[in-house]
Amino acid sequence: MVTCEAPLLEVRNIAKNYGKGKKRKEVLTDLNFTLNEGEVLGIIGESGCGKSVLLNLISCLEPVSQGQMLFRGEEYTGRKPAAVCRWFQVIFQDSEAAFDPKITIRQSMRENLELLSGNVADADRKIDEMVGMMGLDAKLTDRYPRQLSGGQVQRMSIARGLVTEPNMLLCDEITSALDVSAQAMIMQYLYQLRKKRGLTMIFVSHDLALCSTFCDRIAIMQEGKIVEIGTPNQIMDEPKHDYTKLLLDAVLYVK
């Protein structure tokens, strides 16, 4: 794994709340973690615990209420999304909704390239190469999102994110809405891309077993807090928090 002097991403005492006074609701509280270049961090937690909100904060789609975020040692808290989209590309759970239904997949990818690089020189070659790396026929990019299957659209979404060569992918439960075969196919190509490109990722999921095989470290979230973080072996073999033990019991029960 390649590392730099400073972590690629550092999250310090991050908190997020909505509303004021009696209507104030704390969603995230005092989150701290680092992520090194080439590392995959899995984030596991129940629905509503703040996993998606955390990705929105990291990518500046929402402002933090408290704390700092640093990219390669430089604080970027409070910047606009356009200022950090070269670093982070978010892959959403609802992949079709992430595309403009009025334009083709290829047009969407070209727009993304133009936004981030200022031109689309050699864009089609880059698009075709990345789509091919996701195991798809480049001709499918001339279709509209609704004309593809859910698994195909999600793979196109990943390809669109990667074609701009970001420093990190933020994956928000990208396989949870798909059938088992489509999930397996996406994970297969992500495994291959990790080996070829050394991708840095935050991988949000409900699937502890999946994260234990794909991620370098796993953070367990409950009620807006990270209650435990460690390597897959530490989490699976020596869980310390009661909630982690509960998740592990559920995995073992399913098996």
pLDDT band at 59 (very low <50, low <70, confident <90, very high): very high
Identify the three-state secondary structure at position 103: coil
Separation of alpha carbons 134 and 190, rounded Å: 8
The token pair that represents 230 in the structure block: 């460690």
pLDDT band at 250 (very low <50, low <70, confident <90, very high): confident
Q: Give the per-residue pLDDT at 21.
A: 85
Length of the chain measured in residues: 255
Residue 121, pLDDT > 80, answer: no
The residues with which 6 forms a beta bridge, in sequence order, are: none
Q: Give the per-residue pLDDT at 3.
A: 43
What residue spans define the domains of the chain?
9-87+169-254, 103-166
DSSP track, 32-53: EEEE-TT-EEEEEE-TTSSHHH
Q: What is the mean pLDDT of residues 92-121?
A: 86
150 against 119, higher pLDDT: 150
Pick among 3.10.450.50, 3.40.50.170, 3.40.50.300, 1.10.3720.10: CATH of 9-87+169-254: 3.40.50.300
pLDDT digits (tens, 9 = 90+) for 200-238: 999 999 899 999 999 999 999 999 999 999 999 999 999
pTM of this prediction? Answer: 0.91
Instruction: Please check whether residue 44 is in contact with residue 211, taking contact to mean a CB–CB distance below 8 angstroms.
Output: yes
Q: Give the per-residue pLDDT at 118.
A: 65
